[in-house]
Amino acid sequence: MRSATAAIVTVAMPSSTAMASAVSSTCGRLRSGPRCCARCRGRGVFGGTAPCRGRTAESLPMTSNISAPRSRFLLVSRGEDQLPTSANNNATFMHETARGAEMTETLFNPKTYDFAEFDAETRRILRAVVDWFEARGKARLKQDDRDRVWYSEFLDFVKRERVFATFLTPAALANGDPNKRWDTARIAMLSKILGFYGMSYWYVWQVSILGLGPIWQSDNTAAKQRAAALLDSGEIFAFGLSEKAHGADVYSTDMVLEPLADGGFHATGGKHYIGNGNLAGLVSVFGRRADKPIIDSAKALEGKPAQEDYAGYLFFVADSKHPAYKLLRNVVDSQMYVAAFDLENYPVAEADILHRGEAAFHAAMNTVNVGKFNLGFGAVGACEHAFYEAITHAENRILFGHRVTEFPQVRSLLTDSYARLVAMKLYSERAIDYMRSAHAEDRRYLLFNAIEKMTVTRQGQRIIEDLADVIAARGFENDMYFPMAMLGLFGLPRLEGTVHVNMALSLKFMANYMFHPADAGLAALRYLPGAGSAPKGAVRAAAGALSWTSRGLASRAGAAVPKLATELKRAEYEHIPTRRDAADDEFLFHQGPSSGLGRIRFADWRPVFEKFAHIPNVALFLEQARAFQTLLAAASPTREQQRDVDFLFAIGELFTMLPYAQLILEQAEIEHTDPAVIDQIFDIFIREFAKHALTLHAKPTATQAQQHRALDLIRRPVADSARFANVLGRARAHAGAYEMNP
């Protein structure tokens, strides 16, 4: 791409006059004084000589000082752009009615939610699950948790109502039942409900999903039919991947299968941290043949393994009731059962084998892609229940003559917590659409999935920490759901190193997401002398020009450079619709090789930000994103830094905020989320982006250019008291709105 990029830069460096002319043709209202842009469409401008908040990339190169003004610019309505003249205008904008936003802006209330987006049988089952928990009541739920009672009564209910059988059986194995299918949308909803009532109940469901993953991906028809029959009979499943000595090192396994002379194997070895390992009808076990090689994990990070290195891997099913299956103990003090078990010369017949060689390794990775997507939804449910408890307590607690919700520090904590929770919900809802619409030519879900597992769960942990600061000791009392949520939300980001593994995974997508093909021209910054240390204004001007020209001339450059034309075509995707239809997500069990992540292309991420650039803090965050793009181009990680995981994680924290914000805005557009809430969400994002930028700046291994450019990322969010009061009011309105039956 280097030569192609150079060609683009040679062609695409117009003079300032030519650039102004191009912008004028787009905007239709270029002036020497106040400037408008494509977003205002010539209807109005924001005063002074600075570009308006609604500017797009096409208008940025008009001035070298393209930093947005720090004063507040709020639109009174979407239909007519006007310059606000008072706080009343701001309030009018921020109190705009949010159409269709009930699902996200209002927290999930299981007593009133009607599940209208689903078909009749799905609604019936989800309502039955809610009713089971509410009939049981909080006191019994808490007592069972304290006494670590195995949830046999819940599993009896699951069997009776055919919950797992209906939701977890692919349509191809439904045996004529029209309600059975693998539907990510309703699986996510049930994950949220179970997280809402107790992470232990979520866990037995979650690891059953993982256990079924290698089975549904297999060509072993008999094993699949066996699993479907066990689901019908109410059985649960387990995923035997983890080992005590290896943890998240999935390349290594000491579960060894010795070939037998008459066919089949004897399996010997241990597995650790295996949910449902006590009573699983089938355990999908990952192991290796004694007579064939597997990947040396010490060398795996240095280069791509050869195909023959996968030859020894094997996935098979085991029965937890077999005499050679030795259950050792529950490794956690909890109601859930997280097993350590050994297999001792366990007989593995040909009929038990699910995958061999490279296919076995890919099945393990693809199962995690499917199953652990639900971590984020468990976190959302737990946060929603905890929020109800916290806001109700704080609103009714009087200290020093004031409600606790009136204290300034509590107001900030509650406002941020509510905004974070809405952001989690918006992102997660949109991520469902990408999961369900995935196919062999569109694997963007792999990035969005990693962020669901990593970022959404960590945001949930942050919420529970802040709410704990609000309600203090009350959060530890034994009549509260809150302590259960605290434990669960601290655990979710740490299951098998979820954050570290998924940050490393996300970084594999960074170059393509940020530059290919959206900004091939911007990548030329790395070839400009002094780009790493030049003054911020000059670099912004150059970056803006390169970015604008690469977008404006993409089609012509593609025609001139065939390789680039191919790149551009690979990033053309149809719009991803909202997916709550009653369809079977069969691609998730035909994902193919888990490799090739560097070939996945992404559509341009900027347009959705530009649609919302009339919201002050979205516009500021877009500035930060562009500055980060410039940093990557002008001061990219050195060869040594690319092997320094600590340094790369600092980069990754910045990068993953962009796709997280992108999907939030996409869903906000679908739901018509109130601009006040969006503005508050991005107020948080600006602060966190600045914090991560400072972390990068302070890294001892950061180059001078990286230190210099990292400071360009720091911004101060636009403050607005009316918007803050609006969002705080939304948070406080949930006080008393829900309480679990006693």
Give tens-digit pLDDT for 175-216.
999 999 999 999 999 999 999 999 999 999 999 999 999 999
User: What tokens does 546 get?
Assistant: 């390169």
679-732 confidence digits (pLDDT tens): 999 999 999 999 999 999 999 999 999 999 999 999 999 999 999 999 999 999
247 pLDDT tier (thresholds 50, 70, 90):
confident
Cβ partners under 8 Å of residue 709, min gap 6: 532, 539, 627, 630, 631, 634, 635
Distance from C-alpha of 584 to C-alpha of 590, rounded to nearest angstrom? 12
What pLDDT was estimated at residue 538? Answer: 53
Query: Does residue 229 have a pLDDT over 50?
Result: yes
Highest mean pLDDT among 72-76, 84-88, 260-264, 534-538: 260-264
Distance from C-alpha of 127 to C-alpha of 122, rounded to nearest angstrom? 8
513 pLDDT tier (thresholds 50, 70, 90):
very high
Burial class (CB in 10 A: 0-12, 13-18, 19+), 148: middle
Give, for 261, the enclosing helix (H) or strand (E): none
- Three-state SS for 289? strand
What pLDDT was estimated at residue 594? Answer: 86
Q: Classify residue 159: in a domain, yes or no.
A: yes
Q: What is the CA radius of gyration of the chain?
A: 27
- Three-state SS for 401? coil
Q: Is 220 left (phi over 0), alpha (psi -120 to 50) or beta?
A: beta
CB distance 587 to 439 below 8 Å: yes
Q: Classify residue 582: in a domain, yes or no.
A: no
Q: Which of 515, 547, 542 is nearest to 530 (CA)?
A: 542
pLDDT-wise least confident of 40-54, 125-139, 287-301: 40-54
Final residue before a domain boundary, out of 317, 332, 359: 359
The Cβ of residue 153 has, within 10 Å, a number of other Cβ atoms equal to 13
Distance from C-alpha of 384 to C-alpha of 162, rounded to nearest angstrom? 27
What pLDDT was estimated at residue 501? Answer: 86
Distance from C-alpha of 316 to C-alpha of 587, rounded to nearest angstrom? 22
What pLDDT was estimated at residue 37? Answer: 38
Q: Enter the DSSP assignment of 229.
A: H
Distance from C-alpha of 554 to C-alpha of 12, rounded to nearest angstrom? 10
160-180 confidence digits (pLDDT tens): 999 999 999 999 999 999 999
For 275-290, b/e burial (b = at least 16 CB within 10 A) is bbbbbbbbbbbbbbbe
Query: Does residue 364 have a pLDDT over 60?
Result: yes
The amino acid that residue 52 corresponds to is: C
User: What tokens does 255 get?
Assistant: 């579960």
Q: Which of 485, 549, 493 is nearest to 522 (CA)?
A: 549
Question: What's the distance, Cα to Cα, between the start and end of the chain in Å?
Answer: 64
Distance from C-alpha of 259 to C-alpha of 256, rounded to nearest angstrom? 10
Distance from C-alpha of 619 to C-alpha of 37, rounded to nearest angstrom? 14
The amino acid that residue 104 corresponds to is: T
Residue range(s) defining the domain that contains residue 694: 604-736
Q: Which is higher by pLDDT, 521 or 467?
A: 467
Q: Classify residue 380: in a domain, yes or no.
A: no
Percent of the chain with pLDDT over 70: 78
Final residue before a domain boundary, out of 310, 339, 359: 359
What pLDDT was estimated at residue 28? Answer: 32
What pLDDT was estimated at residue 542? Answer: 53
What pLDDT was estimated at residue 248? Answer: 76
Q: Classify residue 700: in a domain, yes or no.
A: yes
Q: Classify residue 187: in a domain, yes or no.
A: yes
What pLDDT was estimated at residue 304? Answer: 79
Q: Classify residue 24: in a domain, yes or no.
A: no
Percent of the chain with pLDDT over 90: 72
What pLDDT was estimated at residue 543? Answer: 53
263-315 confidence digits (pLDDT tens): 999 999 999 999 999 999 999 999 999 999 999 888 776 777 888 899 999 99
109 pLDDT tier (thresholds 50, 70, 90):
very high
Q: What is the Cα 453 distance to its own chain's centre? A: 6
pLDDT-wise least confident of 214-218, 429-433, 592-596, 652-656: 592-596
CB distance 127 to 590 below 8 Å: no
What pLDDT was estimated at residue 574? Answer: 86
Distance from C-alpha of 19 to C-alpha of 13, rounded to nearest angstrom? 9
What pLDDT was estimated at residue 382? Answer: 98
Q: Classify residue 236: in a domain, yes or no.
A: yes
User: What tokens does 258 get?
Assistant: 């010795």
Q: Classify residue 45: in a domain, yes or no.
A: no
Final residue before a domain boundary, out of 359, 380, 414: 359
Distance from C-alpha of 130 to C-alpha of 143, rounded to nearest angstrom? 19
CA 13 → CA 2, 192, 523, 549, distances in Å? 17, 51, 14, 7
pLDDT-wise least confident of 305-309, 447-451, 604-608: 305-309
What pLDDT was estimated at residue 537? Answer: 60
What pLDDT was estimated at residue 596? Answer: 87
557 pLDDT tier (thresholds 50, 70, 90):
very low
Query: Does residue 11 have a pLDDT over 70?
Result: no
What pLDDT was estimated at residue 541? Answer: 54
> What's the angle, vertex CA 87, arms to CA 84 and CA 91, rounded to 5?
90
Query: Does residue 136 have a pLDDT over 70?
Result: yes
What pLDDT was estimated at residue 570? Answer: 53
pTM attached to this predicted model: 0.83
What is the number of structural domains in the chain?
2
